[in-house]
Amino acid sequence: MIDSYYDGLQHADPRTRDWLLIWSDYSYVLALTTLYILSVWIGPKIMRNKQPFDLGWFMVTYNMRLFALSLYMFVEIILSCWAAGYTIMQPYNVNYTPHKGPRELRVAKVLWWYFFSKVIEFMDTILMVLRKKERQITFLHVFHHASMLNIWWFVMMYIPGGLSYFGAMLNCFIHVVMYAYYGLSAIPAMQPYLWWKKYITKLQLLQFVITFTHSSYSIVSEVDFPAWGKYLLVGYMVSMLILFGNFYVMTYKRNQHKKEAARHNKQADTSHVSNNNHTISNGVHNGHCTANANGVTNSKVNGYSHETKAD
C-alpha cells in the first residue's frame, strides 16, 4: 500500500499538489484527523467536572461566517464551472486538464476552499465539547467530519476538477441552509421562528440521493474520469444514506411516535377524569360539594348534610 501511494504521486495534478495542506504528503491531513479524534475522546473527560462554556455570541459569529463561506463557495463553483464550459458529466484527465488555462484553474481554487473548509468545520465538534453537548457527538457526526477532510485531500491531489465539482456544489448549498439555522438558533429571540430544522436532514438525504445517482450514471456512461474516484463517491454516498437515514428515523420518526403515544395517553386520561367527574356529579345530585384543607368533604344532598374524608 505504501509503495502504491508513492507510485501514485506521479499522477497527482501538478497545479494543486503543492497547495496549502496538500503538499504532496498525506501525513499532514492524517495528523489533523488524529488530533480531531483525540479531542473528541479526551475533551469530554477534561470537561467532566467543569462548567460548560457560555459561547452564545461566538456561536452566532462562527456559524454565520461559515454560512458566508458556504454561500461564496456555492456561487463560485457555479460561476467558475459555467465559465470553464462544464457539463453535468464533466470529464477529467490529468494529462490534458492542467493545460486548459485559468478558467480550469479557477475551478480548482474554489474546490481547494471547499477542502479547507473541512478543517474549519472540525470546530463544530470542539464547540460541542466545550459546551458539554456530548449527546450531539455521535458516530455519524465524527465519521462525517473526519472522512470528508481525508477524501478531499485525495480529490485535490489527484482529481481537482471534472465530476468532483458536483457533490461539492450540492453540499455547499446544504451548508448554507444548515449554518444559517445554527447561527440564528444561537440567538434566543430567533428560536421561535426557526421551523425548518427537520427539513435540513431531509435536504441532506436528498443531496446524497442526487449525488449517488449522478456518480452511478458516470460509471454506466463511462465518463473520462478516474474509476477509483467514481467508486469512492458511490460507496461514500451509500454510507451517508445509511447513517443519515438511520439518524432521521431515530430522531424524527421515533419522536413522532412518542408524541402520538403521549397524546393518546393524555386523551385516555382526560376521558377517565371526565367519567369520574360524571360519577361524582351523579353522587351529589341536587347538592353542593366542597372540601376543606384536611381532606374532609362536606356535601349537601336534598337538604341533608353528609361528611366524608378522603383517603
d(CA 143, CA 153): 16
Q: Which three cell numbers stand for residue 289?
A: 360539594
Task: Return the bridge partners of 137, or none.
Answer: none
Q: Which three cell numbers stand for residue 130?
A: 466545550
- The whole-angstrom distance between residue 271's C-alpha and the CA centroid of its chain comes to 41
CA atoms within 13 A on the CB side of 121: 24
d(CA 283, CA 300): 11
Dihedral angle of Cα 25, 150, 15, 75, to the nearest 10 degrees: -160
Q: Which of 167, 138, 277 is nearest to 229 (CA)?
A: 167
d(CA 12, CA 94): 8
From 141, 144, 288, 306, the catalytic residue: 144
**What are the percentages of helix, strand and coil residues in the chain, rounded to 5?**
70, 5, 25
Q: Are 280 and 301 in contact (CB under 8 A)?
A: no
Residues 6+ apart with CB under 8 A from 107: 77, 80, 81, 84, 86, 160, 161, 165
- Give catalytic status of residue 264 as yes or no: no
Helix crossing, 164-185 with 102-120: angle to 10°?
40
What 3 state SS string does 190-234 have? Answer: HHHHCCCHHHHHHHHHHHHHHHHHHHHHHHHCCCCCCHHHHHHHH
d(CA 219, CA 191): 44
Q: Which residues are tagged catalytic?
A: 144
